[in-house]
Amino acid sequence: MANFRKIDESLFTTASCITRHPTPVLSYKDVPYQSALTFNAGVLKKDGKYIMIFRNDVGDFEAQRLFANEKGCITNLGLAFSDDGVHWNVEPEPCFDLHDSEIVRAYDPRVTFIDGEYCICFAVDTRHGVRGGMAVSKDLKHFEIKSMSVPDNRNMVLFPEKIGGNYVRLERPMPVYSRGGHVFDMWLSESPDLVYWGKSRLVLATEDVPFCNDKIGPGAPPIKTEKGWLVIFHAVDVDPERGKHGWEPKWQKRYTIGIALLDLNDPSKVIGMSKRPLIVPEGYYEMEQGFRTNALFPCGMLLEEDDTVRIYYSAGDAVVCMATAPLDELLALCTDPRQ
Ligand code: BMA
């Protein structure tokens, strides 16, 4: 592994401001249709109700088996509603299922409400690479696809408002030839209409994240605060000495969660970042069960009226978990990135 850099293990503790909900808030047992892995869920709060769009990988959880068709694993997106953000009712059918002769599946949704519509960003496996897709919907039943990036790109999240007159998204291209392996960074692009994207620029490079030696990717639509845009991201560290974890024969990665602050007017500028992870895998659901253990993957973050931030993240690529933290303590963690 060309770029392997061992990271000091003492960095890997969860920040003291984080309170985890003790059990996952969604698993395959909550889903009224075929389901094995329910994870990577975008979450919104609108008119006092919580809305979740989650990735649903079809299979048999108990048998540790995913079902596949002639093109590969079967994935759709499920929709769930909740009054408290903890207890979820899953709709009777998946809300989004993209596949044809070229497209294998759509997955890892993030959701933003903007201009009176829901906009979901999702990754798309195709026969010719991984693309980042965006679709809008007024009712979460009918979707209009607005754009699909060129390969390879994914982990797109749309900001909840226009900045400088344009829509803005964070994204994570995967430059395998020019960057030295799996060293992938967080980027940003702008668009006047959600269709044409440009003015692309680097936001955060992996080498500037001390708890990462592999790749990072944006997590959830950023939260606007007086100090800047609060953004959550996943950060991966690899250790070739790690062996089998979860259902996979070999899994040497650990996914932790990081937090940073972006400039309000130019969100390509990082003005704060925690030098340590915000959340690291701990306990049974995060370290022992699931498809890939040691994998935390945040796709939802929202601010409550009492200034508590809720973070929705997946554990083990299998279940959706939730943690909370006071906004001011999260902001205090985002110290000057140059120091
Ligand atoms: C990433 C994506 C995610 C997944 C994560 C952890 O590369 O495939 O869908 O949750 O790995 O396994």
Q: Is there a domain that residue 141 lies in? A: yes
Run of H or E residues at 333: helix 327-333
CB of 169 within 6 A of ligand 1: the answer is: no
Return d(Cα 103, Cα 94) in angstroms, integer.
17
Ligand 1 centre to CA of 292 (Å) is 9
Tell me the mean pLDDT in the region 249-268: 95
CB of 294 within 6 A of ligand 1: the answer is: no
CB of 295 within 6 A of ligand 1: the answer is: yes
Quick one: which of 94, 92, 100 has its CA closest to 69? 100
The DSSP letter of residue 2 is T
Q: Is there a domain that residue 139 lies in? A: yes
The DSSP letter of residue 16 is T
Strand order in the sheet with 186-191: 153-158, 167-173, 186-191, 198-204
- The CATH number covering residue 104 comes to 2.115.10.20
Which long-range contacts does 206-210 make (Cβ < 8 Å, 24+ apart)? Answer: 206/235, 207/183, 208/270, 208/273, 208/337, 209/235, 209/258, 209/273, 210/7, 210/11, 210/275, 210/276
Quick one: which of 134, 206, 133, 220 has its CA closest to 175? 206
Cβ count within 10 A of residue 103: 17
CB of 37 within 6 A of ligand 1: the answer is: no
Which residue, judged by its Cα, is nearest atom 6 of ligand 1? 295
Confidence of residue 242 (pLDDT cuts 50, 70, 90): confident
By most ligand atoms within 8 Å of CB, the mutation choice from 40, 155, 156, 293 for ligand 1 is: 40
Domain that holds residue 315: 25-335
CB of 297 within 6 A of ligand 1: the answer is: yes
Q: pLDDT of 125-164, one tens digit each?
A: 999 999 999 999 999 999 999 999 999 999 999 999 999 9
pLDDT of residue 3: 55
Which residue, judged by its Cα, is nearest atom 1 of ligand 1? 297
Return d(Cα 163, Cα 193) in angstroms, integer.
13
Distances in Å between the alpha carbon of 331 and those of 35, 261, 271, 277? Answer: 37, 8, 11, 14
Ligand 1 centre to CA of 332 (Å) is 29
Q: Is 106 exposed, middle or buried (0-12, 13-18, 19+ CB in 10 A)?
A: buried
Q: Is there a domain that residue 14 lies in? A: no
Q: Max alpha carbon distance in the chain (Å)?
A: 52
Which residue, judged by its Cα, is nearest atom 8 of ligand 1? 108
Ligand 1 centre to CA of 57 (Å) is 12
3-state secondary structure 164-206: CCEEEEEEEECCCCCCCCCCECEEEEEECCCCCCEEEEEEECH
Q: Is there a domain that residue 11 lies in? A: no
Atom number of ligand 1 nearest to Cα 123: 9
Q: Is there a domain that residue 10 lies in? A: no
Ligand 1 centre to CA of 21 (Å) is 22
CB of 318 within 6 A of ligand 1: the answer is: no
CB of 255 within 6 A of ligand 1: the answer is: yes
Q: Is there a domain that residue 97 lies in? A: yes
Tell me the mean pLDDT in the region 45-69: 96
Q: pLDDT of 172-188, one tens digit each?
A: 999 999 998 889 999 99
Q: Is there a domain that residue 62 lies in? A: yes
Backbone angles phi, psi at 85, to 5 degrees: 80, 0
Return d(Cα 120, Cα 277) in angstroms, integer.
27
**Domains held by the chain: number:** 1
Backbone angles phi, psi at 23, to 5 degrees: -130, 160
Q: Is there a domain that residue 8 lies in? A: no
User: At residue 295, does pLDDT exceed 60?
Assistant: yes
Better-scored residue on pLDDT, 278 or 181 = 278
Whether the Cβ atoms of residue 243 and residue 254 lie closer than 8 Å to each other? no
Atom number of ligand 1 nearest to Cα 291: 12
Q: Is 32 exposed, middle or buried (0-12, 13-18, 19+ CB in 10 A)?
A: exposed
CB of 292 within 6 A of ligand 1: the answer is: yes
What does the mean pLDDT of the chain come to?
96
The DSSP letter of residue 29 is G
Ligand 1 centre to CA of 96 (Å) is 19
CB of 40 within 6 A of ligand 1: the answer is: yes
Confidence of residue 6 (pLDDT cuts 50, 70, 90): confident
